[in-house]
Amino acid sequence: MKIVSIFNLGISIVTLIVGVLSLSLNSLEAYPTALLFFQSLTFLCMFFYGRKLTGEKNWIILVFSILAFIFAFVHMILPQYWYGFNFNAIVHRSFISAILLISVALPGTIYSIYFLFGAKPTAYDISRYPLLILPVALILILYGLLIYHVIVQGVPQLNWKILTTPFEFQQWKQMVWENGWPVWIPHSIAQAGMRNHILGTFLLIGMTSVISLPIGIGVGVYVSEFSKGWFANVIKFSTQMLRAISVFIIAITAYNLVMHSSGSFFSDFINGYFYDPNGAKHIANGSFIIASIFLSFLVIPIIARATEEGIRSLPLDIKEGSTSLGASPEHTLFHIQIPWSLPNIITGLILGCAETAGGLSIIMFMAGTGEHGLNPLNGVTSLAYLIFDIHYGSAFGDQIPNLVGSYQYAAAFLLLMMTMGFTIIALIMKRKLAQRYKGA
């Protein structure tokens, strides 16, 4: 009779796969109604099979059979698109199909596995694995589809020219004489390149790291070594709140500082500036320095937490042995504890760099195109802002749309490679440093 459980399991898995795929595909609408009817029959078979196997009637299985039958009829009468009902979007029927299919296929898979292994206590534990696997599988599938879409759309757009040329857009009028009369002829230069956005991202990462690393290590050491007292509690609470606070609050704070600093002594430092071709000085919307300072608010807690965990992971015997041999607390800290926690610190730093590279919220209100050059006092720009600006901004999308096409996918691909690269480097360095300092 195991053939019944195997057949039921096959129907449930197929239904589950179609339900998951329906979350992102609209081309599977020919299958959900039939699969829901089959799933109803599957539950009915499991009800009688379970009764014969255990001698008990499992009414929950019968309820699922009725639900699957009802869902099949509901799906038949659903319109192809849903709109209205205070929705701010048009919903395709495939989204509803996915919910209906997954809601009956998942319990169908669980009960099929349960009866396949003989309805024993061990079978009960094994049958609950899909509850753990499905959420992970859904996340991996969604990430996979997203990455696949970015790669397919972005790689063909990459070429050497857009990687090595900066964005530039200039308009001017030139006076010429025609038939004895002056005529103003408009001229313009339009160049859609990503060089300054790429270099600006690395500049942001470098400056944010320089600010965050010493402060993060200092906070981590202080919290781990001097965890008692009200001041240590305040520092620990403040560090935790920096990770909990909304990034938009930090962004609005930075934007208000930039907007209200015009004419002050630190205006160049905060706003940034550039010179036009005529040598006139202009104020930017926000410098790399001020952007790095506020981005460091996101990175400092990562490094501090990594440092704290690294120092506390040091075995107490090693620390006490250093003290018993006459080493001072400072010598133990700088020669044993910090080197021991170095893998954690480097990992936290590189993951913070990845967050800086993709951090848009902080600089969204004050970034620019980077066409006026790159240095700490120039207007801030990055690849993350480029993606936003192409779709919603006024530089690429409005000024030179004929040159841009869909460059946002190329920029997204570069940003994806950059963040993935930082993550891989973090894992490799953590392993290498652990082998060196911990003997792992």
222-232 tens-digit pLDDT: 888 877 777 87
Separation of alpha carbons 380 and 227, rounded Å = 38
Q: Stretch 150-176: mean pLDDT, rounded? A: 74
Separation of alpha carbons 391 and 388, rounded Å = 6
pLDDT given for residue 89 in this prediction? 61
Partners of 433 in the β-ladder: none
Tokens 């795929």 map to which residue?
Answer: 21
The larger pLDDT score, comparing residue 311 to residue 118, is at 311
Quick count: other Cβ atoms within 10 Å of Cβ 437?
16
Residue 301's Cβ-count burial label (10 Å; 0-12, 13-18, 19+) is buried
With bands split at pLDDT 50, 70 and 90, how would you rate the model's confidence at 215? very high
Cα 410 to the center of its chain, rounded Å: 17
Give all strands (DSSP E) within 12-138, no chain letters.
81-82, 91-92
pLDDT given for residue 212 in this prediction? 92
What 3-state class would DSSP assign to 331?
helix
The larger pLDDT score, comparing residue 169 to residue 146, is at 146
Of 95, 71, 117, the residue nearest 23 (C-alpha): 95
The larger pLDDT score, comparing residue 172 to residue 392, is at 392
pLDDT given for residue 8 in this prediction? 80
How many Cα atoms are found within 13 Å in the side-chain-facing hemisphere of 77?
4
With bands split at pLDDT 50, 70 and 90, how would you rate the model's confidence at 440? very low
In sequence order, the 6+-apart residues with CB closer than 8 A to the CB of 360 are 382, 384, 385, 387, 388
Separation of alpha carbons 262 and 282, rounded Å = 11
- Per-chain mean pLDDT for the chain: 80
Tokens 């926000």 map to which residue?
Answer: 286
How does DSSP classify residue 190? E
**Which pair of structure tokens corresponds to residue 330?**
């400072």
Q: Stretch 151-164: mean pLDDT, rounded? A: 82
Cα 339 to the center of its chain, rounded Å: 30
In sequence order, the 6+-apart residues with CB closer than 8 A to the CB of 128 are 110
φ and ψ at 90, to 5 degrees? Answer: -105, 120
pLDDT given for residue 214 in this prediction? 92
Of 217, 225, 439, 212, the residue nearest 332 (C-alpha): 225
**Which pair of structure tokens corresponds to residue 292?**
């790095």
Separation of alpha carbons 356 and 353, rounded Å = 5
pLDDT given for residue 196 in this prediction? 87
**Which pair of structure tokens corresponds to residue 171?**
């308009």
Q: What is the DSSP string of 226-283?
A: S--SHHHHHHHHHHHHHHHS-HHHHHHHHHHHHHT-TTSTTHHHHH-EEE-TTS-EEE
pLDDT at 187 over 70: no
Each residue of 262-290: pLDDT tens digit? 656 577 777 777 776 666 777 777 888 88
pLDDT at 180 over 90: no
**Which pair of structure tokens corresponds to residue 424?**
């891989």
High-pLDDT (> 90) share of the chain, % = 6
**Which pair of structure tokens corresponds to residue 190?**
């339009």
Separation of alpha carbons 233 and 228, rounded Å = 7
pLDDT given for residue 87 in this prediction? 58
Question: H or E stretch including 182?
Answer: strand 181-191
What 3-state class would DSSP assign to 192?
coil
